A and B are shown apart, each in its own frame.
Chain A
Amino acid sequence: MSVLVRLARQPFALAGLALVAVFAALALAAPLLPLPDPDATEPANRLAALGAAGHLLGTDQLGRDVLARLIFGLRVSLAVGVAATLAAALVGGTVGLVAAFYGRWVDGLLMRLVDVLMAFPYLLLALAVVAALGPGLTNAALAIAIVNVPFFARAVRGQALGIVRQDYVAAARLAGFSDLRILLSEVLPNVAPLLIVTAATTIGWMILETAGLSFLGLGAQPPQADLGSMLGDGHKVVVAAPHVAAAPGVVVFVLVVGLNLLGDGLRDALDPRMKGVESGAPQPATRVERGMTGAGSGPNDSAAVLDVRALTTAFATPRGSFPAIRDVSFTLQAGEALGIVGESGSGKSVTALSLARLAPTPPGTIVSGEVRIGGADVLGLGLDRLRRLRGDRIAYVFQDPLTTLNPLMRIEAQIVEAIRPAPGEGAKAVRTRASALMADVGLPDPERIARAYPHELSGGQRQRVGVAMALANAPDVLVADEPTTALDATTQGRILELFARIRRERGAALIFVSHDVGVVACLCDRIVVMYAGEIVEEGPARVVAARPLHPYAARLIACAPRLGQPDKSLAPIPGAPPAIDARPDGCAFAPRCDHAVAACRAGPIGLEEAMEGRRVRCIRWRELSGEAA
């Protein structure tokens, strides 16, 4: 049922369905309609114009009624198109199923045959078949069906390959069912939607091409007529009486438009995965709609290189818009390193990306807050000023360097692209700078690496390239979003050393996002712990790591592995963080917290100044830290 519902939600598909329904009804009802005999000639009344008495659409060169011929021609064209589609689906589907099911040489042979059929320009093979069989509507439809068999065979084989490897197919084999029975009862039902989609998206083509062959005089032969042959007849008198050709031409066009609208709609309805690919390529910058709430409150810390106030980024979901991070505030002083930690889904990456408006829109929108970098409010900048800020004042290192580097560009070009040339600085000087950057981040043999593509480097080398690009313009703020997560343990250590060295030597302020509290405690001065989109604790890194105040922070630290303590028992936190559209009213961690009481669930809990430089979002932190002590 849900397929029909999804189909009904698409206005274009419904329009297509309506068109197709009207045409199908006309075609089916043709013999019942009060129409003149479509083959009755009336030489005295040749090429009558539109609206002539008794001939609404006029007559053709033999004086036959165009409207009657049109509706009967439509009947023929539709019937032939449906027949050709069914034939192609049956043969192509069988070939695809058999190839996937038997594999090995059967698959090889059938697919080579399909390849050969596809090696012909579409239609040309159809022409050859018609040439061999002789002109005629059946032969033309047969030819069109043959050239469409490969599309069905390939599509069905592709999907069936996955199905024949499933356990239930193996089970059916073991149970001794015949191959035919397995194919029909286990495999066919699973490829049926694909078969329907392929048929629905190709039937328009097949009607078009069959009409084309008739137009060329290779399809329907007189007295039989389809829309194509009517168009071919009209072609001969097109200047004197354009309506004779226009009527069937318009009908073919509108019919095929209707079929294609319906076919596309069916494809989207039956294959939501394809719709998923469709939904939303990110815009150049996160949308900002701060509305009435406006900028964050409180005095700005003018000394800070980065000042984030009440930042809230909402994500659109099918059930409405929900904040992925809410009311996030922190500052970063020059040369300071701030770690943001939390489980996946805690909002730490969304926070990091929102700073330079890199959180994806759709689905993200920044709905409130302020981000000041060097005094300017990033969220209020125009696209061009934002672009100039990115990579210059604030630069990023991302998680997986294999996907974050452009696979088609040489390393040098990607680093050069990151460098803002000084006025008058030539291409050669920029390349020298790129080379120096590579040496700086410890890339061996910069000359070779400059010419390499990302896939030719190791993971660690790729991440060093990522760091080199981020350092290109000596940014005020360097944001590293899980920069070591995708790397193996040894490489992780080396990249962390690199970050520590950059901090020592360059004094850039660093935001280091990680799920690993241990790493952050070593590298950073301060730490922010996030849960369900909110900061739950903030303070000096070593102090928080040693004596966390928030129960969630405590659990997170308890489950972090410690180097040199392999026997320490890791206590994973039971349960999962709430989905963004299912956040509880009070403390978001309460459902997983051992210390939760009724008051925790009563209402929103503020971020409280616990002591000098420490903030915590827990109403019980005092008693709990007393317990822990």
Chain B
Amino acid sequence: MTAYALRRLALAVPVLFGVTVVVFLVIALVPGDPALAILGSYATPESVARLNAELGLDRSLPARYLAWVGAALTGDLGRSYALDRPVLDEVLERLGPTLILAAAALTLSVLFGLAAGVASAVRQNGWVDRTIGLALLLGVSTPSFFLGLLLILWLAVGLGWFPTGGMSALFGGGGVVDLLRHLVLPAVTLAVVATAILGRLTRAAMLEVLRQDFVRTARAKGVEEDRVISVHALKSALVAVVPVIGLQAGYVLGGAVYVETVFQWPGVGRMLVEAIGRRDILLVQGGVLALATLYVAINVVADLAQAALDPRLEA
């Protein structure tokens, strides 16, 4: 297991390298003159040149990449000129709320997605299966930004059960209960699409497993059907589903952009949208880099979980 974990970690290194290159290039190749964008169109050519030198923009691309990555490794992601504070500080402050939201949504989608997929597969082609199948298709097709609006109108404005948006600080604010009240609607909104994708995949994986000979063996041994489904079939299906849970983390982190905007959730997603509007390029760069790194880490964990489930993968 340790050897497998080390190998899997080693595989993440080139991916992370690629991620930094892409993040760097996307921003480095921005059309137009960043210094001009920062200083405004009334800047003198001298001050533009000075700022370019300050930002290191007069050097070659590889040199700039190395400087940028070196600084990033020491935690220096530059300064947000609009907020006038270090990018790292802002990103870290926004990361907490996004993690809470994404973790809640992912948990919901795993619970409901697995349950829907298993229930659907066990009653394949019956009315339960058809109903769940249709619900999952609707789920996959849901624009979360619209669903969020509907939930606000209905459950927050209409019934007043939940706040319309915002988030109180975990410490010093309304405490855990208040945090949960603020969390329910955004987390549900964010979970819908991931639930639907996981549900469809779980159904397919379960059907595949239920056809396997070892399931027949378990039944021939007289194992209770609940146990056949939960221990024999579901565990095997999870080998296929767990990596996809990791991938769903990507949809959840990306979809957080919409949900945080609709619910005014103070996370990285909303920060990115605001930063793009202000052309605060370094802040965008830092936010994207942070979420992408997090995503790579989540997928490493998902692969390790898969290996823990399936002893054949360790070899």
Judge: A and B partners, yes or no.
yes
Point out residues on A near B: beta carbons under 8 Å: 12, 112-113, 115-117, 119-135, 204, 208, 211-212, 215-218, 228, 231, 234-235, 238-239, 242, 245-246, 249, 252-253, 256-257, 259-261, 264, 277-278, 280-282, 284-285, 356, 358, 360, 383, 387-392, 395-396, 398-400, 403-409, 417-418, 420, 453, 455, 466, 469, 472
Cα–Cα distance between A407 and B208 once the two chains are bound (Å): 15
Q: Are A121 and B30 in contact (CB under 8 A)?
A: no
Choice from A264, A281, A392, A407 contacting B206 with Cβ under 8 Å: A281
CB neighbours of A239 from chain B (8 A)? 153, 157
A212 to B153, CA, bound (A): 19
Check B261–A216 contact: CB distance below 8 A.
yes
Q: Complex: how many Å from CA A561 to CA B224?
A: 42
Closest to B152 in A: A238
What 1/0 flags go to B264-303 for Cβ under 8 Å of A?
Answer: 0000000011011100010011001001100110010000
The reply to whether B22 and A404 form a contact with Cβ atoms under 8 Å apart is: no
Of the listed stretches B13-21, B51-59, B80-88, B176-184, name the one at the interface; the rest are far from the partner chain: B13-21
With beta carbons under 8 angstroms apart, the residue of B150, B207, B236 that contacts A408 is B236
Residue in A closest to B225 when the chains form the complex, CB atoms? A284
- For A453, the closest partner residue in chain B by CB is B311
Beyond A356-B220, A390-B222, whether A282 also contacts B211 by CB under 8 A is yes
* In the complex with contacts A117-B22, A253-B141, A281-B206, A231-B146 CB distance below 8 A: yes
Is B220's CB under 8 angstroms from A395's CB?
yes
Whether A281 contacts B217 by the Cβ 8 Å rule is no
Q: Which residues of B contact A218 (CB under 8 A)?
A: 273, 276
B7 within 8 A of A: no
Determine whether B29 belongs to the interface, using a CB cutoff of 8 Å to chain A. yes
A238 to B221, CA, bound (A): 60
Known: A112-B14, A120-B292. A128 touches B214 (CB 8 A): no
* Chain A residues whose CB sits within 8 angstroms of the CB of B253 once the complex forms: 121, 124
* Cβ-closest 9 pairs across A and B: A123-B254, A116-B18, A391-B222, A281-B210, A249-B146, A121-B250, A390-B222, A121-B253, A256-B141
Near A by CB (< 8 A), chain B positions 162-186 give none
Minimum CB–CB distance from B213 to chain A (whole Å) comes to 4
Interface flag for B72 (CB, 8 Å): no
Q: In the complex, what residues of B have CB within 8 A of residue A245's CB?
A: 146, 149
Number of residue pairs A-B, CB distance < 8 angstroms: 247
* Complex interface: chain B residues within 8 A of A400 (CB): 213
A211 to B145, CA, bound (A): 9
Once the chains bind, are A257 and B211 in contact (CB under 8 Å)? Answer: no
Check A121 against B143 for contact (C-beta < 8 Å): no
B-to-A contact residues, CB < 8 Å: 14-16, 18-19, 21-23, 26-27, 29-31, 121, 124-125, 134, 137-138, 140-146, 149-150, 152-153, 157, 204, 206-208, 210-225, 228, 232, 235-236, 239, 249-255, 257-258, 261-262, 272-273, 275-277, 281, 284-285, 288, 291-292, 295-296, 299, 309-312, 315
Cβ–Cβ contact A120 & B250, under 8 A: yes
Distance in angstroms between the alpha carbons of A212 and B141 in the assembled complex = 13
Q: How far is the CB of B9 from chain A (nearest CB, A)?
A: 14
Residue of B nearest to A405 (CB): B214
Contact A277/B19 with A119-B296, A408-B309 known, Cβ cut-off 8 Å: no
Quick check: B258 and A407 within 8 Å, CB to CB?
no
Q: Is the CB of A387 within 8 A of B222?
A: yes
Residues of A within 8 A of B223 (CB): 387, 391, 417
Q: Across the interface, do A387 and B141 meet the contact criterion of CB distance under 8 Å?
A: no
Q: Which residue of chain A has the shortest Cβ distance to B311 in the bound complex?
A: A453
Report whether over half of chain B's contact residues are helix, strand or loop; otherwise say mixed.
helix
| Residue numbers in B under 8 Å from A284 (CB-CB) | 219, 225, 228
Beta-carbon contact of B207 and A277 below 8 Å = yes
**Among B26, B204, B275, residue most surrounded by chain A Cβ atoms (within 10 Å):** B26
Closest-CB distance, A235 to chain B (whole angstroms): 6
CB contact under 8 A between A417 and B124, given known A120-B19, A120-B295, A122-B250: no
- Smallest CB–CB gap between B83 and chain A, Å? 16
Closest chain B residue, CB of each to CB of A407: B312
| CB neighbours of A135 from chain B (8 A) | 276-277
Query: Taking A217-B277, A387-B225, A408-B309 as contacts, is the C-beta distance between A133 and B31 under 8 angstroms?
Result: yes
A residues within 8 A CB of B255?
123
Cross-chain contact of B312 among A128, A285, A455 (Cβ < 8 A)? A455
CB pair A128–B23 under 8 Å, yes or no, is yes
Whose C-beta in chain B lies nearest to the C-beta of A258? B141
Q: Which listed residue, A127, A252, A392, touches B288 by the CB 8 Å rule?
A: A127
Residues from chain A with Cβ under 8 Å of B222 in the complex: 387-392, 418, 420
> When the two chains form their complex, are residues B217 and A398 in contact, meaning their CB atoms are under 8 A apart?
yes
A398/B213 in contact, CB under 8 A: yes
Q: Are A277 and B292 in contact, CB atoms less than 8 angstroms apart?
A: no
Task: State whether B217 touches A252 (Cβ < 8 A).
Answer: no
Which residues of chain A come closer than 8 Å to B284, judged between CB atoms? 127-128, 131
| Residue ID in chain A nearest B121 by CB atoms | A281
C-alpha gap A249/B236 in the complex (Å): 39
Question: How far, in angstroms, from A390 to B276 measured CA to CA in the complex?
Answer: 65
Given the complex of chains A and B, what is the CA–CA distance between A256 and B210 in angstroms?
32
Alpha-carbon distance between A526 and B201 when the two chains are bound, in angstroms: 49
Q: State the CA gap A406–B23 with chains docked (Å).
A: 44
Chain A residue with Cβ nearest B296: A119
- Most chain B CB within 10 A, of A121, A235, A257, is at A121
Assembled-state Cα–Cα distance A280/B121 (Å):
9
Among B137, B157, B217, B277, the residue within 8 A (CB) of A264 is B137
Q: Do A407 and B221 touch across chains, with their CB atoms under 8 A apart?
A: no
Q: Is the CB of A235 within 8 A of B310?
A: no
Residue on A nearest B289 in the bound complex, by CB: A128
Shortest Cβ distance from residue A503 to the other chain B in the assembled complex, whole angstroms: 20
Which residue in chain B gives the minimum CB-CB distance to A280?
B124
Question: Which residues does chain B contribute within 8 Å of A211, judged by CB atoms?
Answer: 143
The distance from the CB of B46 to the nearest CB of chain A, in whole angstroms, is 27
Given known A-B contacts A216-B258, A218-B276, A281-B124, A406 and B141 have beta carbons under 8 A apart: no
Find the A residue at minimum CB distance from B292. A120
Given A257-B137, A455-B312: A408 in contact with B239 (beta carbons within 8 A): yes
Q: Within 8 Å CB of B137, what residues of A?
A: 12, 257, 260-261, 264
A sample of 14 more A-B contacts (CB under 8 A), given A235-B262, A280-B211, is: A12-B137, A127-B272, A127-B276, A132-B27, A135-B277, A212-B143, A212-B144, A253-B143, A277-B208, A395-B221, A398-B220, A407-B214, A407-B236, A469-B217
Q: Which residues in A have their C-beta under 8 angstroms from that of B258?
A: 212, 215-216
- The residues of A that contact B22 with a CB separation of less than 8 Å are 116-117, 120, 125, 128
Set of chain B residues within 8 Å of A390, measured between Cβ atoms: 219-222
CB of A285, distance to nearest CB on chain B (Å) = 8
A218 to B206, CA, bound (A): 40
Chain A residues within 8 Å of B121, by CB: 281
Question: How many Å lie between the Cα of A212 and that of B105 in the bound state?
Answer: 19
Chain A residue nearest to B232 (CB atoms) is A406
Residue from the list A123, A130, A417 in contact with B218, Cβ < 8 A = A417
- Nearest neighbor of A278 in chain B, beta-carbon distance: B207
Q: Are B254 and A124 in contact (CB under 8 A)?
A: yes
- Most interface-central of A132, A256, A356, A391 (chain B CB within 10 A): A132
Contact assessment for A252 and B146 in the assembled complex, using a CB-CB cutoff below 8 Å: yes
Give the residue name and chain of the B residue nearest to A418 (CB): B221
A404 engages B261 (CB within 8 Å): no
- Min C-beta distance of B131 to chain A, whole Å: 13
- When chains A and B are docked, how far (Å) is the Cα of A227 from the Cα of B121? 36
Q: Smallest CB–CB gap between A378 and chain B, Å?
A: 13
13 of the cross-chain contacts (CB-CB < 8 Å) are A119-B19, A119-B295, A127-B272, A128-B22, A128-B288, A129-B26, A132-B26, A216-B257, A231-B146, A280-B124, A282-B216, A391-B221, A453-B312
In the complex, chain B residues whose CB is within 8 Å of the CB of A119: 15-16, 18-19, 292, 295-296, 299
Within 8 Å CB of B220, what residues of A?
356, 358, 390-391, 395-396, 398
From known contacts A127-B276, A127-B288, A358-B220, infer whether A406 and B27 are also in contact, taking CB-CB under 8 Å: no
Tell me whether B312 and A116 are in contact (CB under 8 A).
no
A391 to B221, CA, bound (A): 4
| B228 nearest CB neighbor, chain A only | A284
